[in-house]
Structure 1
Amino acid sequence: MISNVYLSDRSLKIRTLTSILPGRTSTPIVIVIVIVIVIVIVIVIVIVIVIVIVIVIVIVIVIVIVIVIVIVIVIVIVIVIVIIIIIARPALRSQGYQRAGLLSQDDVALIQRVAGGKAQAESILQAESDTYADLYVRLLSKLSRNDTLQYILVLVADFLNDKDDRIPLFLSQNDPYSPLLKHLDSQDDFVRSKSAAVISTVISGDPNPPDGVVTKVLAALSALIRNQADPEAQDVGVQCLGSALRIEKIRTAAWQADSKDDAESSKAITGLVQLLKANPSAQMQYQLGFCFWLLTFDTPIAERINARHNIIPLLADLARQALKEKVIRIVVAALRNLVTKAPTENLPAMLVAKLLPFVKTLASRKWSDDEIKEDVEFLVEELTKSFEGLTTFDEYKSEVQSGQLSWTPPHKNDDFWRDNAAKLNDKDRELLKALVNVLTTAQEPLVLAVAANDIAQYVKFCDTGKNSSSSFNRYRSLDSLGAKGRVMELMNHADPDVKYYGLLATQRLVSHAWAA
């Protein structure tokens, strides 16, 4: 028993001693401490992340607020500017005119009534059209400052646009054209263009406008159309001419002016042709087609326009290149007019321009507009009948008149020239002059080579078997028309074909001159 007590005491001492010895820590306590440290670190990291997120959110909110403030400021500035332009500036201008006695208080009140919303202004204009027609004519005749005129011209355009019933009200005023005519020469581009637009609208509702007005309007529109430095002015000019050409008197005047050789006459139609050759935009294509469609309603114009401007190949190319149906529709309608009004003059030229296969292709397409289908079917029928009755000489004549020469069979066929060379002298050498004109004006090597060949063929076969004086007369005739000098120039041309046929024509001219 004593031994057991001794052992128990000894064991207790050993455990007590062991517990107090250094380096002998309890494992559970270490684990707890580590866990606590990790938890603290995680909490700190989470707090830091939360703080960073909060800071980022605050920064984003601040940026959004700044952007909103900037947008609001910009909107306010724009609104203020618009208000100043719409309300303040006209009021300031009107004060000066009131002091000068050019505007009455009633005039100012009338202007301010239509200076607001478009719907409200239109309601007022509809109810008081007479009053505003009188007001606008008076203001245009009195006012002179460009900024004020711009404002009034915009009001006048709004008053007249798509409102044909208001044009008579404008025309019923005392001398309605003079106030607009004087602004056609303005140094301000906007005033000049807007005046042209307004007067074109007005004149389109006048079946018999004064001759002087027609002349000045056509001169102004011609200047706009031919202003190659300003495409916008050209666009305005073509649109305005499209409005004015609705009147037969203006179509006639435009054609007559275009026919004159003097530099002073307006050349609006020539300007249209130049634009047609310049790869116009789709909208310009339509506007040009519309102008030519209107012009072809007049028989005298339909009879001569292709001979003067070679318009049929240009219209054919326009239709081939067109991507919009409305362009094809207006071109086909113009071609139908040419056939209806002057079939003898235009059908052969259409065949030379290869229109028959093209309109057959159009006939196979589906169209949303029945008018296109009817016009295309008409052209197919008429061109087919003309093609079946066309003689070789008719085909050659149309080719020369079109200026589009190529190596079609007649040019190198001796039998053709033996039978037909003398016909070039008919009607005061009309066809010979046309051939020489092609020779002297063409630039394309193919056309030049064919034209030089035809001169050589004409010299060889015309008046064959007759006395030598006829050969001398042919030589002098071609010399006086400028053919001799031109074919001699072609002997030095860069293209070998042109050079060869120029040499051939020169040799025949010289040999026939010596034979005479």
Structure 2
Amino acid sequence: MLQENPLRAKYFHQTPDPESASSLDPYTVFLRLLQRQEWVAQEKAAKLLTAIIDSRPMKSLAFNNGILSSDPSSALQLASFGGPDPAEAHISSFVDWLIGQMKRPSAVNKSVPISISILAVLLRERGTRQLFLRAGGVQLLPSMIKSSNSPANSQLLYELCLCAWQMTFLAAGADALGKAGIVRPLVEVTRVAQKEKVFRIAMSALRNLLDRPELHDTLAPEMVDAGLQKIVITKQMQAWGDDDIVELLKYMDEQLKHGIKVLSNFDKYKREVASGQLDWSPMHTSEAFWKEHADKFEERDFMVLRALLKLLESSREVKTLAVACSDVGMFIVHHPQGRYIVNDLRGKELVMRLMAHPDPDVQKQALLTVQKIMITRDKLEFLTGSSS
């Protein structure tokens, strides 16, 4: 019925018969159906509930402005906007169910696409964005975008990025997205997207994050480090059918050229260690880098070195383990107290374990680092000096 004419959803909001004590509002009826075991019933109820919520006649100004009755500090604001939205509690329950489906799908390959498609509709309202943020939905988006980034999932990917984009219009939502690590997944979408609408919505979300003054200094360097500037330059050479994309790229190019500090090498190194994935870039092999920056590892009680040693303990990625072993060795060589500091932080024990690793490169790097831990400073200087 609603597929044929979505406007018919308004009939669910007709005033119930006051003479009937059994009259139920439409929200309660369909929220109950979401608890059925059969996915078919859940899916139909969810789609109907979406149409009913979207077509409700008494949308409050408070809800449209993101003011929730469940917020104790909002009483005065609610009154000034004419009171709470009658459907707020029902929308909240529905959002909770949708997030539950994102975490633990009832139907494999079906629950997540349906839930994201529904959220893309519901998040048009500022109040729903607040409910989604409060329920922890924002933290799920980065990993879902990353895992869905392929041409085969273009519609799901578009709607995931659409949800992220809508959340960037909420200050707290944008902040939560940044902290959850949304930048790199979105940048990667712009790198590989084949459909214009997917590229446009991902780039638009990045623009909104960049335009927030309170996030600019934190997220702009991350965008540069993720390669967004190169992507923008490359994409500007393409022919686009959408003039909005041309303007968007021009704007991002100007912002990234003139408004972003270029990361220092050590800033890049810290970010790479924090990401948990290391590669054989020049930072890891350059003697000049280590001579210049070895003393910076002392900052914040050797925070970066501790993170590096944590990778030796917890990472399962072969390249990361090999590079981390090499980095520990480089620190020992170039810091006056390197071998003692590494010993105090259990680094010797962690590296020695990796000498028995099944990968030959990890074994090799672990052996070289253990040698640097074991020999004295004067012999170490002689050894590294004779090999350079």
2:102 alignment partner in structure 1:
225
Question: CA distance change for structure 1 residues 407 and 232 in 2, over 3 Å: closer, same or farther?
Answer: same
1:152 alignment partner in structure 2:
none
Which stretches in structure 2 are left out of the alignment for 5+ residues? 71-88, 377-388
How far the C-alpha of 1:277 sits from its partner, in A, is: 5.6
Task: For 2:36, give the aligned amino acid.
Answer: S
Task: For 2:109, give the aligned amino acid.
Answer: P
Question: CA distance change for structure 1 residues 320 and 415 in 2, over 3 Å: closer, same or farther?
Answer: closer
How far the C-alpha of 1:231 sits from its partner, in A, is: 0.8
Question: CA distance change for structure 1 residues 274 and 313 in 2, over 3 Å: closer, same or farther?
Answer: closer
Q: What are the residue-to-residue correspondences of 1:19-98 with 2, within 5 Å?
A: none
Instruction: Report if aligned partners of 2:284, 2:323 keep a CA contact under 8 Å in 1.
Output: yes
How far the C-alpha of 1:443 sits from its partner, in A, is: 4.3
Match of 2:206 among 335, 344, 354: 335
Structure 1: distance between partners of 2:306 and 2:351: 15
Q: Deviations over 1:263-306 (max 9, x none)?
A: xxx96436624643677511112112212222333445545645
1:318 alignment partner in structure 2:
189
Q: Deviations over 1:315-348 (max 9, x none)?
A: 2332232221111111111121232222222222
Match of 2:161 among 289, 292, 314: 289
Aligned-residue sequence identity (percent) comes to 28
Match of 2:13 among 123, 133, 137: 133
Question: CA distance change for structure 1 residues 492 and 232 in 2, over 3 Å: closer, same or farther?
Answer: same
Structure 2: distance between partners of 1:317 and 1:439: 27
Task: For 1:240, give the aligned amino acid.
Answer: I
Instruction: Report if aligned partners of 2:96, 2:135 keep a CA contact under 8 Å in 1.
Output: no
Question: CA distance change for structure 1 residues 317 and 452 in 2, over 3 Å: closer, same or farther?
Answer: same
1:236 equivalent in alignment to 2:114: yes
Instruction: Report if aligned partners of 1:239, 1:287 keep a CA contact under 8 Å in 2.
Output: yes
Query: How many correspondences in the alignment?
Result: 344
Question: CA distance change for structure 1 residues 379 and 231 in 2, over 3 Å: closer, same or farther?
Answer: same
1:360 alignment partner in structure 2:
233
Question: CA distance change for structure 1 residues 505 and 216 in 2, over 3 Å: closer, same or farther?
Answer: farther
1:500 alignment partner in structure 2:
364
How far the C-alpha of 1:192 sits from its partner, in A, is: 1.7
Structure 2: distance between partners of 1:485 and 1:258: 39
Moved more, 199-208 or 334-343: 199-208
Instruction: Report if aligned partners of 1:286, 1:327 keep a CA contact under 8 Å in 2.
Output: yes
Instruction: Report if aligned partners of 1:348, 1:398 keep a CA contact under 8 Å in 2.
Output: no
Structure 2: distance between partners of 1:325 and 1:416: 41
Question: CA distance change for structure 1 residues 275 and 186 in 2, over 3 Å: closer, same or farther?
Answer: farther
Question: CA distance change for structure 1 residues 279 and 439 in 2, over 3 Å: closer, same or farther?
Answer: farther
1:276 equivalent in alignment to 2:148: yes
Aligned-partner SS, 2:356 = coil
Aligned-partner SS, 2:124 = coil
2:290 alignment partner in structure 1:
417
Question: CA distance change for structure 1 residues 285 and 498 in 2, over 3 Å: closer, same or farther?
Answer: same
1:194 equivalent in alignment to 2:44: yes
Question: CA distance change for structure 1 residues 497 and 395 in 2, over 3 Å: closer, same or farther?
Answer: same
Instruction: Report if aligned partners of 1:445, 1:495 keep a CA contact under 8 Å in 2.
Output: yes
Structure 2: distance between partners of 1:377 and 1:268: 31
Output the TM-score relative to the length of structure 1.
0.55
Question: CA distance change for structure 1 residues 249 and 486 in 2, over 3 Å: closer, same or farther?
Answer: farther
Instruction: Report if aligned partners of 2:321, 2:362 keep a CA contact under 8 Å in 1.
Output: yes
Structure 1: distance between partners of 2:243 and 2:129: 28
Structure 1: distance between partners of 2:296 and 2:50: 46
Structure 2: distance between partners of 1:137 and 1:499: 78
Alignment RMSD: 4.1
Moved more, 186-195 or 197-206: 197-206
How far the C-alpha of 1:509 sits from its partner, in A, is: 5.6
Task: For 1:324, give the aligned amino acid.
Answer: K
Structure 2: distance between partners of 1:447 and 1:364: 35
1:400 equivalent in alignment to 2:273: yes
Instruction: Report if aligned partners of 2:141, 2:160 keep a CA contact under 8 Å in 1.
Output: no
Instruction: Report if aligned partners of 2:190, 2:202 keep a CA contact under 8 Å in 1.
Output: yes
Q: Deviations over 1:398-417 (max 9, x none)?
A: 33344453222222234433
Output the TM-score relative to the length of structure 2.
0.70
More helix by share: 1
